[in-house]
Amino acid sequence: MIVKLADGSVNNINVKLTDVIVTLKHLNIPLTFIILPNSSNNETLLGIDFIRKAGLIINLSTNTWLTADRPHVIYPLRCETSVHTIECASTDVLRIDEGTMLSPPERDDLARLLQEYQDIFTQGGGPTPFAEHRIDTGDHLLLRCRPTA
């Protein structure tokens, strides 16, 4: 099955399917869950398809929700508290789109280098005074042009 994951990546994955009934207040919503066989410790995501199938109406301005079949019964919208969070600029040293021209061992070496010297590569701060560049245009005038999209 071709699956688009939460990070936006699209993969052809051999998945397992199971039919379940999700109970939400007075509603019993039959759903098919997709199980990724190589995943562990995942939380279930109920997306827009679930919201539509259940007939939910979510009012974010009042933090409430209701169902289309009982619009007079209004429920408070509650969010789960996060289990254990840590603040960090990035969970991975190299994102999947970085270092794509490197071989896997070279990517590993670069990731180790960035991890070892992570205090140097932290986000923020001003420009470095240690690097400057000049462009020799010869006898030609400087030309300013807008970047193309």
* Residue 64 and residue 54 in contact, taking contact as beta carbons nearer than 8 Å: no
The 10s digit of each residue's pLDDT in 64-74 is 999 999 999 99
Distances (CA, A) of 45 to 85, 91, 104: 19, 21, 32
* Residue 77 and residue 64 in contact, taking contact as beta carbons nearer than 8 Å: yes
The 10s digit of each residue's pLDDT in 82-117 is 665 655 555 456 666 677 778 888 888 888 888 888
What type of residue is 97?
Answer: D
Closest by CA to 4, choosing from 43, 34, 38, 31, is: 34
Closest by CA to 94, choosing from 84, 81, 104, is: 104
pTM beyond cutoff 0.85? no
Beta-bridge mates of residue 28: 23
